[in-house]
Structure 1
Amino acid sequence: MFGKKNDNRFVEKSVQHYQFGMILVLIDTETGVHYLHTWSTQGTSLTPLLDENGDVVIEKDFN
């Protein structure tokens, strides 16, 4: 948190456009946690991406 500043804390793994918005999968470069970010003209949301067992998706060898 107070260590070396990483300008690219989050990177886009995938982007999908649809009629009035988009869906992005973001990866936290410090923790490897995947996030699902949705954006539309109605609003936006951000939530951890879950696997089929309901566990948070973490990319172990990301760093």
Structure 2
Amino acid sequence: MKKRFAVKSKEHLSGGIIKIIIDTETGVNYIMTSGLGLSGMTPLLDQKGNVIVDKS
């Protein structure tokens, strides 16, 4: 079975981690943060407020 999500990039920042995750079925990019007791995941937006989608 193919994994639904894949890590596009990962960066350590001020004791936490920021990852860009791609939904392999829809192409939607998400930003995921973790560390320092906090975590979250939300769609990644461009400068106009549109969701970033990788074209297949």
| Fold match (TM-score > 0.5) | yes
Q: Distance in 2 between matches of 1:51 and 1:19?
A: 23
Which residue of 1 is the match for residue 27 of structure 2? 32
Alignment length (residue pairs) = 56
Q: CA deviation at 1:58?
A: 0.4
Which residue of 1 is the match for residue 39 of structure 2? 44
RMSD (CA atoms): 1.1
Of the candidates 15, 18, 25, which is equivalent to residue 10 of structure 2? 15
**SS of aligned partner of 1:58:** coil
The unaligned stretches of length 5 or more in structure 2 are: none
**TM-score, length of structure 1 as denominator length:** 0.81
Stretches (4+) displaced over 2 A = none
Of the candidates 38, 47, 55, which is equivalent to residue 50 of structure 2? 55
Percent of pairs identical after alignment?
43
Higher strand share: 2
Q: Deviations over 1:16-43 (max 9, x none)?
A: 0123110000000000000000001221
The unaligned stretches of length 5 or more in structure 1 are: none
